[in-house]
């Protein structure tokens, strides 16, 4: 096989295909012939009725446009694969949409500034102006785009324009308290991550802490998921819970919940950045 590689890089390979013997061997042999060194490999097979195979590999190899063509022809097509490869030198560009609550936004910005999130943040957009100083102090462009029922289409068009101009790869809704239209969601399939302040599927929609308090639940939680046309029904990436009791007032649930929201959203965003998520219908495989 001709090798026209340039500089070394780390690549992440995600694979979905019908389960069959020899998949790992076929992929590994191709990588060996391509001069790649496998750093990490994880795999999962579903039950025989579904008959699906999933794999994530992290490899060290020089970047090459030729790799994609060769892999598609020699491995992916014969094995019926859906696959993608990404390279760590091509940092993802993450836009953040937020309303007035600052806890999820500030956690993401702090982790980005500390280097924990290997991503670029070219823009933060909000339908409130309260968080502008926090963003501009870190050198992140902030756009105040107010919205109501009459201006929603125009506001989403302005957001989409900014996404295109800034070459955004994916969007994070850091407590963005607006429902995105199906038209907007279709522009970023499986590339919009939302944090919902409930352990879904319980208490979907608005005011989940109030509903949880009224029901006297013993666990509260948060859920990070990809956005789809169905409200709070998208594929779940990450979840967590905290135990509560009758001694906790509503404000206590909100305070505890916000801490969970920060952690869950960060873990989901990091999983997406690190290419550890494969979407299967309305479920996810998270390596």
Instruction: Please identify which of the residues 232, 240, 252, 259 carries the catalytic annotation.
Output: 232
* Residue 67: partners with Cβ closer than 8 Å, 6 or more residues away: 5, 34, 61, 85
Please give the backbone phi and psi of residue 84, each rounded to the nearest 5 degrees, phi first. -155, 155
Strand segments, DSSP code E, in the chain are 8-18, 37-45, 52-62, 82-87, 93-98, 120-126, 142-144, 170-173, 192-196, 219-226, 236-243, 277-280, 283-286
Does the annotation count 120 as an active-site position?
no
Residue written as tokens 């479920």?
A: 283
Question: CA dist 273 to 12, 94, 117, 118, 210, Å?
Answer: 11, 9, 8, 7, 33
Tally Cβ neighbours within 10 Å of residue 67: 24
CB-based burial label for 140 (10 Å; 0-12, 13-18, 19+):
middle
Q: Which are the catalytic amino acids?
A: 232
């Amino acid at each position: 096989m001709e090798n026209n590689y340039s500089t070394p890089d780390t690549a992440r390979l995600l694979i979905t295909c019908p389960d069959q013997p020899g998949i790992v061997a076929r992929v590994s042999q191709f990588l060996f012939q391509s001069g790649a060194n496998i750093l990490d490999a994880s795999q999962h097979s579903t039950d025989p009725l579904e008959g699906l195979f999933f794999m994530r590999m992290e490899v060290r190899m020089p970047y090459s446009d030729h790799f994609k063509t060769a892999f598609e022809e020699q491995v992916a097509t014969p094995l019926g694969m859906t696959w993608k490869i990404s390279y760590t030198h091509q940092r993802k560009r993450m836009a953040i949409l937020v309303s007035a609550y600052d806890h999820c936004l500030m956690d993401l910005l702090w982790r980005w500034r500390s280097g924990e999130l290997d991503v670029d943040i070219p823009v933060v957009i909000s339908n409130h102006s309260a968080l502008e100083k926090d963003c501009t102090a870190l050198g992140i462009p902030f756009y105040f785009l107010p919205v109501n029922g009459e201006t929603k289409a125009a506001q989403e068009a302005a957001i989409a324009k900014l996404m295109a101009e800034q070459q955004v790869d994916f969007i994070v809704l850091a407590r963005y308290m607006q429902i995105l239209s199906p038209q907007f969601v279709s522009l970023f399939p499986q590339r919009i991550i939302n944090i919902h302040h409930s352990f879904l599927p319980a208490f979907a929609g608005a005011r989940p802490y109030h509903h949880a308090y009224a029901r006297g639940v013993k666990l509260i939680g948060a859920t990070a998921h990809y956005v789809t046309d169905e409200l709070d029904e998208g594929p779940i990436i990450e979840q967590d819970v905290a135990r509560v009791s009758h001694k906790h007032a509503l404000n206590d649930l909100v305070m505890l919940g916000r801490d969970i929201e920060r952690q869950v959203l960060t873990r989901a965003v990091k999983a997406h950045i690190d290419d550890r998520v494969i979407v299967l219908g309305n479920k996810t495989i998270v390596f």
